[in-house]
Every structure is written in C-alpha cells, then in structure tokens.
Amino acid sequence: MATFKTHLTVAVTFSAGLAGGFLITDLATPKTAFFYGLLGSFGGILPDIDSPRSVPAQLLFNVLGILFATLVIMNDSFFGIIHYSWLVGGLIYVFTYYGLSKLMAKFTVHRGNFHSVLAAIWFGLATTAGVYHLLAARELVAWTAGAYVMLGYLIHLGLDEVYSIDFRNRKLKHSLGSALKIVSLRHQKSSIFLMLATIGMFLLTPEVSSVIKFLWH
C-alpha cells in the first residue's frame, strides 16, 4: 500500500500538471485551473478516508466540520439569534469531527467499497452536483471539476494496486486486486447501496449536453 505521502505527491503532481495544461490551452482561467488542481489532489487522497485514523480522514472530517459550522454561522437569519447559531455551529463541528468519523468507521471496511471504481464515479458525480448547485458554476465547469476528483481517485486506486506487487521478490502481495476493482464483491450489501447512491447522485447532476457539445467541437 502506498503511503499518504506518496499518494499526495503523485496526486498533486498529476493534478497540477493537468490543470497547467488546461491553463495553457485556455480551457480554464487561472482561478478555475487552481480549483481543478486542488480538487484532483483532494481526489487522490480521498479513498483512504475509510481508515478513520488516516491523515486524509482526519483532514476531511475537520474540513467538513468547519464547512458545516461556517454555513450555519453565516446563515444567522436561519436561527434568528447570532449567539445561538455560533453554539449550533460549534456542536455541528464536534458532531462532524468526532461523531461522523466514528460512524463512518463503523460502517466501512478499509479497502472495501471505497477502493472501487464505482466509488470514484460516485465522488466524481457528487463533486459535479455540489459544484453546480452550491457554487452555481456552469455545467461544463461542474463536470470538469467532477472529472478531476474522479481521475485523482482512480490514480490513488491504481497506485495502491501497483504497490501490492513486491518487485524485489517478484511475488504478489495478498492485497492485490483489493484496491482497483469495479465494485466490492465481498461486501455485496454496501455495493448495491453504492450503486443506488450513484444513480441517485447522477440524477442531481446538471445536463451533460454542454460537455458533449464541447467535446464534439
């Protein structure tokens, strides 16, 4: 298994390179290219959130906690009283950081469904839907953002797979085939759940027509 540092280095290098290409070819403005690069790097460490004490898991739940809390605090009209929203924001942070990560650990198996191509697709679609609805981005930008996360995610899976080959002894480690799989056949219930979640997430994404039009021209 590749270490966090390896994953991060490869993800950042690849995403920055790709985003640079987008920038040079005028496919993205500097701001958007930076955003894409960030998303690709994030996708590259995302699969390991299924091991709760991993750096990406702690990072993710920290960021999510801050994000949720900020949304509540900023939206003070939501609760009317500003002090109250700070309290609720704080509680939401604590719940996300401690509660959600515990819950996640309970329901996921490391290298279960999170290390699958289907999960990569789900996270890609979730990014597209999120960027489109929450950031009010154009369809093409939303789909490109999703593609970056998915690519970063897939690179992570591929890297884990490469690391399961013991080059010196020319032996295959036990973990071979556990990283890059379409779905986890060992965890059927969660695989079915993930398939349904992927279909559901696809319904939340914007139209693909703009992407098709762009690719055809």
C-alpha distances (whole Å) from 154 to each of 90, 119, 180, 214 are 34, 9, 8, 24
Stretch that binds Zn ion, among 20-28, 75-83, 92-100, 155-163 (CB under 5 A): 155-163
The answer to whether the beta carbons of residues 211 and 139 sit under 8 Å apart is yes
- 171: phi then psi, degrees, rounded to nearest 5: -115, 155
Cβ-based nearer residue to Zn ion, 28 or 120: 120
The binder of Zn ion chosen from 50, 139, 160, 161 (CB under 5 A): 160
| Residue 44 binds Zn ion, judged by CB under 5 A | no
Find, among 50, 16, 39, 44, the residue nearest to 159 by Cα. 44
Number of residues that bind Zn ion (CB under 5 A): 3
Residue number, nearest CB to Zn ion = 160
The answer to whether the beta carbons of residues 45 and 7 sit under 8 Å apart is yes
Stretch that binds Zn ion, among 32-40, 48-56, 125-133, 188-196 (CB under 5 A): 48-56
Q: In whole angstroms, how close is the CB of 104 to Zn ion at the nearest point? A: 15
C-alpha distances (whole Å) from 57 to each of 60, 138, 146 are 5, 30, 20
Cβ-based nearer residue to Zn ion, 50 or 139: 50
Q: In whole angstroms, how close is the CB of 47 to Zn ion at the nearest point? A: 5
| Residue 48 binds Zn ion, judged by CB under 5 A | yes
Give the CA angle between residues 122, 101, 193 to the nearest 5°: 35
* Interface with Zn ion (CB under 5 A): 47-48, 160
